[in-house]
Amino acid sequence: MKHFIFILPFISFLLYAEENLSELLEIYQKKSDLSNITKKESAGFLDLYTRDDLEKMQAHNLIDVLKTLSSLYITRGQNNTYHFYKPSSSKMPLPSIRLYINDHDMSSTTFGSAFLIWGEMPISYIDHIEVYKSVSSIEFGNETATLLIRLYTKDASRENGGKFQTLIDNYGSYDTSFYYAQTFENDFSYFAYIQKDNINREVYHNYYNNKEYDFNSDKKGYNFYANLSYKNWRVELGNYKKRNDSFIGIGIHKTPDGGELKARQSYIHVTKKFDNGIKLQIAFDDMVYRRTYFDENDIAIYNGYMDSINYVQDYYIKFHDQIFSTIIEKIYKTENNKILLGG
């Protein structure tokens, strides 16, 4: 009996110590989270999705995460694109939605919003996501945004290894991704990611003049991302391709006979931080956006020049943007204020 009196308090002590250690590890993990470094709570109303949040959500693409935003609603349009709505208000214009991957602005003057291309991007290489509402901070660029989405990729210094993942479903869809990160003693590190998916979705139907028409919304995608870091230099490379069916299309009677979206965006982003606090960023983007609609029962196209409506069975849209940008900035901080200079 004396032995049990000694052992039971010892076991209780071990359990208490283990519980305290778990709490300490959890506190350390939260404090060292990358989002604590990047978030700017004063820039607008912030919805933050930490790495732990994303893992618990088991979200596979960006739109899955954005559907959980508070005070915003997302619907899929008849041409298979997504739209944002505020409560008791009309649809938010796409140019008011801006998207960044790290410091790189994915928008273009032609598209107005990167969401047309990147809305369903995979996020298995993303560490955390910050969504700012009603943004007016100059730290995010010269233009204000109703919604600003910043995605931060995983960091090589926090990974130092790789991960392979494959997902399949009963529709025959698959989503495969792989990333690998490594850090060396000479301050050189790299992170590389590649992903491919082929998503088959349920087919809906419409009947017109005794004929059946299919509403297809399948999609295919390929994504590559890599970053190389050496001392105060960082180079990022990205290439994202996607193909989406046109779903219902834009025909008068909703009788699509094919149609698709094909889009690609490739970019390189170079960042150099100098010892005097100056930050230099140089970037180049190449974007291609092609959309086709086919409807044998007519598509109505408004001709603004002639102030008339034309009826066609085939409709094509194509944009091609090449963007070169340079940003130089320096931040001066005092005890209570911060001054940003740049151009």
| 293 CB neighbour count, 10 Å cutoff | 23
pLDDT of res. 221: 95
- The span from the CA of 100 to the CA of 104, in Å, is 5
User: Which residue reads 């140019």 in tokens?
Assistant: 95
pLDDT of res. 188: 94
For the segment 123-180, what is each residue's pLDDT rounded down to a tens digit? Answer: 999 999 999 887 655 566 556 678 889 999 999 988 888 999 999 988 889 999 999 9
**290 compared with 43, residue with greater pLDDT:** 290
With residue 190 as reference, give the H or E element that holds it.
strand 188-199
**3 compared with 284, residue with greater pLDDT:** 284
Buried b or exposed e, range 251-268, using 16+ CB within 10 angstroms: beebbbbebbbebbbebe
For the segment 227-257, what is each residue's pLDDT rounded down to a tens digit? Answer: 999 999 999 999 999 999 999 999 999 999 9
For the segment 34-80, what is each residue's pLDDT rounded down to a tens digit? Answer: 666 655 555 568 889 999 999 999 888 999 999 998 888 888 888 88
The pLDDT of residue 84 is above 90: no
**DSSP-assigned beta bridge partners for residue 242:** 221, 263
The pLDDT of residue 222 is above 60: yes
Give 188's contacts (C-beta < 8 A, 6+ positions apart).
228, 229, 230
**282 compared with 5, residue with greater pLDDT:** 282
Residue pair 314/260 in contact by the 8 Å Cβ criterion: no
The pLDDT of residue 282 is above 70: yes
Q: Using the 8-state DSSP alphabet, how is residue 335 labeled?
A: S
Q: What's at 89, amino acid-wise?
A: S
Task: Give the CATH class of 33-342.
Answer: mainly beta
Phi, psi torsion values for 12, nearest 5 degrees? -60, -40
Confidence of residue 1 (pLDDT cuts 50, 70, 90): very low
Nearest to 203 by CA among 215, 218, 192: 215
Residue pair 159/191 in contact by the 8 Å Cβ criterion: yes
For the segment 164-217, what is each residue's pLDDT rounded down to a tens digit? Answer: 999 998 888 999 999 999 999 888 999 999 999 999 999 999 999 999 999 999
Strands (DSSP E) contained in 36-141 are: 45-49, 73-76, 82-85, 97-101, 104-105, 126-135
The pLDDT of residue 111 is above 80: no
pLDDT of res. 21: 56
* Region 323-330 average pLDDT: 90
Average pLDDT in the chain: 84
Nearest to 289 by CA among 321, 266, 263, 323: 263
pLDDT of res. 326: 94
The pLDDT of residue 4 is above 50: no
Ordered by start, the domain boundaries in the chain are 1-32, 33-342
Q: Residue 287 burial (CB < 10 Å; 0-12/13-18/19+)?
A: buried
Coil/strand/helix, residue 33: coil
Give 162's contacts (C-beta < 8 A, 6+ positions apart).
178, 179, 180, 181
